[in-house]
Structure 1
Amino acid sequence: MQTSPDPSSRSARPPTAVRRGGAIVALEGLGAIVIAVVLWFHAAGGADESFISSYGTGAWFAILGAGVLAGGLALITGRRWGRAIAVVAQILLIPVAFALLTDSGQPQYGAPLLIVVIIVLVLLFSPSSVRWLAADYAPDAEPDDIPPDVVEKPKPKS
């Protein structure tokens, strides 16, 4: 006997696309934190012209990196609020990638960054990701209206 899934039993586990996008975003946040630490060591070694330059830039990278890391981890663990952080971070990285490709003359960094940004945006706006996000906004939906990939499947009893 098979019963329709209960809408209140929606899985907290996001689709694979969201988890993969979240993992990439978490790595971006971790990368920013690593850059912050490098800048702080650079400043502590006395290699900086002004005192505030590396420390201030390092603090900026640490704060933003921590936020992006939190957003990525939120997506991996099924918290929908992480998607907003991830999407905004990717949108802000697009001009950085283009600047690296053109004005900075460093396409070896700009091209891979742009590819990663596009991959993350495709993952976060894939149909399964959008259905997963929208499922939280349809609490009164009938069980048959909810896509099967956003509903926890009942486990067979042994």
Structure 2
Amino acid sequence: MVTNNSEPVPYPRDFVPPGVRIAGGIATVQGLVLLGFAVYLVVHALLGHREETVQISGYGTAIWFVIMGGAVTAAAIGLLRNKRWGRGLIIIAQLVLLPVSYYLGVGSEQWAAGVIVGASAIVVLVCLFRRESLEWYAA
């Protein structure tokens, strides 16, 4: 918070800026989607589906998505609960999602998914780098 004389005013202990709440909400959805995709991969592998052209284990990929989805979800919930430690992990996840969104659109021709992933990553980054979000983080 900034007063009229441009001196920073400390935030109350329980205050979370709207931008951080928006970023936390979007990142929570992203993490839950990763966890849901992990469940899908496990079920798919249990039903006997094997990738013929690429030697990728559905179980191994699912474990990776559980790790990433769990970390992103935990960090996002941390942001929503006024825990600053989640911000760095969420920023890194969004920076990883930007090239993923490009690949979804250009490489896989799943344009809708690419636009959704890319737009959500940009919104989260903008929210976390807004002035009040930076002041909250620095407090």
1:71 aligned onto 2:39: no
Structure 2: 5+ residue runs without aligned partners?
1-8
Moved more, 13-22 or 72-81: 13-22
The residue number in structure 1 matching 2:44 is 42
Return structure 1 stretches of 4+ with deviation > 6 angstroms.
none
Deviation at residue 14 of structure 1 after TM alignment: 1.2
Distance 2:41 2:111 in 1: 23
The residue number in structure 2 matching 1:87 is 91
Structure number with greater Rg is 1
Distance 2:14 2:86 in 1: 13
Instruction: String of CA shifts for 1:49-82, please: whole Å, max 9, x gaps.
Output: 4897111000110111000000100000000010
- What aligned pairs does 1:1-158 form with structure 2 within 5 A after superposition? 10-49=12-51, 53-135=57-139
Structure 1: 5+ residue runs without aligned partners?
1-5, 136-158
RMSD: 1.9
Aligned partners of 1:93 and 1:117 also within 8 Å: yes
TM-score by length of 1: 0.76
* Count of aligned positions: 129
Instruction: String of CA shifts for 1:133-158, please: whole Å, max 9, x gaps.
Output: 111xxxxxxxxxxxxxxxxxxxxxxx
SS at match of 1:43: helix
In percent, how many aligned pairs have the same letter?
39
